[in-house]
Amino acid sequence: AAGVIQSPRHLIKEKRETATLKCYPIPRHDTVYWYQQGPGQDPQFLISFYEKMQSDKGSIPDRFSAQQFSDYHSELNMSSLELGDSALYFCASSLGQGPYEQYFGPGTRLTVT
Amino acid sequence: GENVEQHPSTLSVQEGDSAVIKCTYSDSASNYFPWYKQELGKRPQLIIDIRSNVGEKKDQRIAVTLNKTAKHFSLHITETQPEDSAVYFCAASINYKLSFGAGTTVTVRA
């Protein structure tokens, strides 16, 4: 079965640079979530979209923005990168609005030097 | 917001024994409780979930129980195998975002 696709899988950036992470949900899934996971920590919710509209917002820095496109893929844009932004960034998708099963992608490992 | 506490943080069991992980949540409006298994550097993998209108759910060697009155839920793994070694996260959800517990590192000794 098709899974969530994330690109790139690894990304190395310098401080103050920008980064764009992409997420392609499972086919027919209309809801996308972004999570950030630091080393040894649990995933922290950043933001979610349902039918191309922001549905919920968590601890996402103002330097970050995201959107969901007409084909349901999503992009997380990160600017003025800081060392503390180094983490695994996961995208998850689900079918429908509400408490439905969320399936995670393989993640993007971002390293800021 | 929702606060999820998870215990224990580490758990070592002999192969074939059972493992139990417990979580509590703070927001009585939470209505969905999934459990994820995560191996080092890999994605969280949904292994079982339970909704607020159900008290117990079982899938082969894993089971989850929910006590809404006490606001706690538990994961039970029976007949543990070495491949069960991983970090397990509980989570609670109100409609959209998942609030995760801090995780339990489970080690199954052969």
Q: Are A95 and A1 spatial neighbours (Cβ–Cβ below 8 Å)? A: no
Q: Are B66 and B52 spatial neighbours (Cβ–Cβ below 8 Å)? A: yes
Per-residue pLDDT of A71-113, as tens digits, reads: 999 999 999 999 999 999 999 999 987 678 999 999 999 999 9
How many CB atoms are located within 10 Å of the residue A43 CB?
Answer: 28
Q: Is A109 exposed, middle or buried (0-12, 13-18, 19+ CB in 10 A)?
A: middle
φ/ψ of A62, rounded to 5, equals -60, -20
B29 touching chain A per CB within 8 A: no
Per-residue pLDDT of B55-72, as tens digits, reads: 999 999 999 999 999 999
- Pull the structure tokens for residue A76: 């997380």
B42 touching chain A per CB within 8 A: yes
Average pLDDT over residues A59-77: 96
Output b/e per residue, B59-87; b: 16+ Cβ within 10 A: eeebbbbbebeebbbbbbbeebeeebbbb
Q: Report which of B70, B84, B1 is spatially closest to residue B35, judged by C-alpha positions.
A: B84
Question: Which of A102, A104, A109, A110 should be substituted to probe chain B, the one whose Cβ sees the most B Cβ atoms within 10 Å?
Answer: A102
